Amino acid sequence: MDYRLLGRSGLKVSSLSIGTATFGGDGLWGNTDVTEARQQIDLCLDHGVNLVDTANVYSGSVSETIIGEALSDGRRDRVLLATKVRFPTDQGPNDRGLSRWHIVREAEKSLKRLKTDVIDLYQVHEWDGQTPLDETLEALDTLVRQGKVRYIGCSNYSAWHLMKALATSDAKGYQRFVSQQIHYTLQAREAEYELVPLGLDQGVSVLVWSPLGGGWLSGKYTRNSKPDDGRQVRGFKEPPIYDWDALWDIVDVINAVAKGRGVSGAQVALAWLLQRPLVASVIVGGRNLAQFEDNLKAADDHRGDERALQQPGER
């Protein structure tokens, strides 16, 4: 495992991090309980992972609670905790968004659920067009100054949203975003048009969510071998696939490279991401320990096969 600086900060994060959307969930996302969560966290820590990513809405906040329980045996100081705020947490008109009211209240709740006194990376989960940007950034800045949050980041922002936030922070003297959590895969490379160049220019690292495209890039499925279980066959449409022929062409190459190396397709897809400019950490998950173990092996192999994985017209 290697460690990379997060944005313009001095914080170093592991190149692979643990995603926890399955913790406490049900149905499509999985249903990892506290015992399984401890096992998964143990495995990741043994491999050098130091970043745990969650959100206040994952499994209705149960994910945060499980993480807090799993780390309550004294291991909290071994990891960096990242969580998010933005989406609805209840039925009230203020139980959503990025107002000062919602941000501060949800930060306090996350701290209690995670059983910690500080959130290492607090991320806004999505843009909020109804709340003045100054209000959002000032609230985040206040949390940092109070010692309740160490660093801030954004998730699912467009390039102009991110640049506007950075410019506002610079003008007002607020804390800057050090990271942007985005969807970025061999199949979904739209971020390379604006988000990645912006991040390189402004010093905002990339954290990658769903690096295997919901499992489609794991190499387990091909155009002639579709899944018979899991999220993919139960109507799950996130992240979306817009061109299935292109997807299967990419999977064919992934599997060819994987076969030549004697590794899994998932390891090839993850290793490719680990070579991309600006990527600080790739968030990996798994419905069981075997999937986690396989994904974690990608950290040992950054060679990739750039020539084989290039898309037509790419240099």
DSSP 273: H
* CB atoms closer than 10 angstroms to residue 211: 27
Q: In this predicted model, what pLDDT tens digit does every residue of 31-69 receive, in sequence order?
A: 778 888 889 989 999 999 999 999 998 878 888 999 999
Residue 28 has pLDDT above 70, yes or no: no
Q: Residue 35: give the domain boundaries.
A: 3-215+267-301
The number of residues in the chain equals 315
Q: Where are the beta strands (DSSP E) in 11-132?
A: 12-14, 16-19, 51-53, 80-85, 119-124
Residue 227 in domain: no
Q: What is the CATH number of the domain that holds 50?
A: 3.20.20.100
Residue 225 in domain: no
Q: In this predicted model, what pLDDT tens digit does every residue of 72-130 receive, in sequence order?
A: 888 899 999 999 999 888 899 998 999 999 999 999 999 999 999 999 999 999 999 99
Question: What does 70-88 look like in DSSP terms, one character per residue?
Answer: HTTTTTGGGSEEEEEE-S-
Report d(CA 228, CA 230) in Å as an integer. 7
Residue 152 in domain: yes
Q: In this predicted model, what pLDDT tens digit does every residue of 243-294 receive, in sequence order?
A: 899 999 999 999 999 999 999 999 999 999 999 999 999 999 887 888 889 9
Residue 194 in domain: yes
What integer pLDDT is reported at residue 61 of this predicted model? 82
Residue 279 in domain: yes
Q: What angle do CA 42, 274, 71 make, to 5 degrees?
A: 20
Residue 315 in domain: no
Contacts of residues 244-253 at CB distance under 8 Å and 24 or more positions apart, as own/partner, are 246/187, 247/187, 247/213, 247/216, 247/217, 248/222, 248/223, 250/186, 250/187, 250/217, 250/309, 250/311, 251/216, 251/217, 251/219, 251/221, 251/222, 251/223, 252/222, 253/308, 253/309
Domain count, the chain: 1
Residue 312 in domain: no
What integer pLDDT is reported at residue 300 of this predicted model? 81
Catalytic residues: 58
What integer pLDDT is reported at residue 236 of this predicted model? 53
Residue 235 in domain: no
